[in-house]
Amino acid sequence: MSRFSIAIHGGAGTITKQSLTPEKEKAYHKALEKALTAGHQALINGGSAVDAVELAVTLLEDCPLFNAGKGSVFTSEGTHEMDASIMDGSNLEAGAVSMVKGIKNPVKVARLIMERSEHVFMAGPGAEAFAKSMQCEFREEKYFYDEFRYQQWLTVKGTDVTQLDHASEKKFGTVGAVACDRKGNLAAATSTGGMTNKKFGRIGDTPMIGAGNYANNQTCAISCTGSGEFFIRGVVAYDVSCLMEYKGMSLSQACDEVIHHRLKNIGGDGGLIAVDLNGNIAMPFNTEGMYRASRNSEGHTIVSIYQ
């Protein structure tokens, strides 16, 4: 049996010991552990990497602690607009969705786009119509309401300021998962509510295949979180894959090169999670912290927040 593994993240940024109460820190650990265990169990049961990452991201979307699905930040119009993507490394198929409202689990729509449509990327009301045609679960606006996010938004409502998802700290609240299954297939999934008070239909790196999300059985599966504009300009997720494929770097070498040098050189902050076809895991970030967790086939587990 070949090695399998899974890694997840719940965002990176200025996350320090001082900025979290012990209760909140415990809550984050518990939520990460829950999503990780569910995804890992799927792999134990012989589920595909695509199944595992979809399941883990669904649980992170359902948890209001993270800025994705329930708990998404408020746009400048007081609504929630969400993005998600998924990629199957075995065939390079991909699905992505952007600017959708009311959908309980955007990552599930991304998977349906990948598997049930001839397209890769859908957005806005058109994407919502596709989700409806596929019987996806919708929720009323109040389902997505979170008091903390609302208070965040009130501090910048009516101004031109857009904000990362924590007012008191600089934090990128995207969630994501990457996995290598028993057959050596890789997959990656990413989901986000974007930036507080965002307007002009801003789209970040999350739904952009190659930027915020990428998977290829020959190299690696990657899910990113950070200052999205820089991840787009650096084509970050695919860059890791290219350094492995074209320069022969290992997973950890390629991840470090991209996060600590290439991304940093253009001014980008954030991190990523990655697995390769041997089940190796890397979770580099160039910020103070990143909500992250991983577990391999031997059961070796990491659940961590700070550097």
Question: By the criterion CB under 8 A, which residues form the site for a second copy?
Answer: 92-94, 98-99, 117-127, 129-130, 162, 199-204, 208-211, 214, 228-229, 232-235, 238-239, 242-243, 246-247, 266
Of 124 and 184, CB closest to a second copy: 124
Nearest-angstrom CA–CA distance, 97 and 109: 7
Nearest-angstrom CA–CA distance, 171 and 284: 16
Closest CB 100 distance from a second copy, rounded Å: 9
Of 118 and 140, CB closest to a second copy: 118
Structure tokens at 7: 């890694």
Closest CB 134 distance from a second copy, rounded Å: 10
Structure tokens at 189: 């999934």
Of 171 and 292, CB closest to a second copy: 171
Closest CB 11 distance from a second copy, rounded Å: 19
Of 123 and 156, CB closest to a second copy: 123
Nearest-angstrom CA–CA distance, 241 and 88: 14
Nearest-angstrom CA–CA distance, 304 and 307: 8
What type of residue sits at position 47?
A: G
In degrees, rounded to 5, the angle at the alpha carbon of residue 25 between the alpha carbons of residues 251 and 29 is 50
Of 78 and 201, CB closest to a second copy: 201
Q: Please report the sign of the dihedral spanned by the C-alpha atoms of residue 63, residue 30, residue 27, residue 7.
A: negative
159 part of the active site: no
Strand partners, 191: 84, 175
Q: Please report the sign of the dihedral spanned by the C-alpha atoms of residue 276, residue 281, residue 285, residue 290.
A: positive
Nearest-angstrom CA–CA distance, 8 and 224: 10
Closest CB 237 distance from a second copy, rounded Å: 9
Closest CB 35 distance from a second copy, rounded Å: 27
> In this structure, what DSSP letter does residue 72 have?
P
Closest CB 76 distance from a second copy, rounded Å: 9
Q: Which of 58, 75, 174, 196 is catalytic?
A: 174
Of 38 and 242, CB closest to a second copy: 242
User: In sequence order, which residues have a C-beta less than 8 Å from that of residue 223 and are 6 or more positions away?
Assistant: 9, 176, 177, 178, 188, 189, 190, 212, 213, 237, 272, 273
Residues annotated as part of the active site: 174
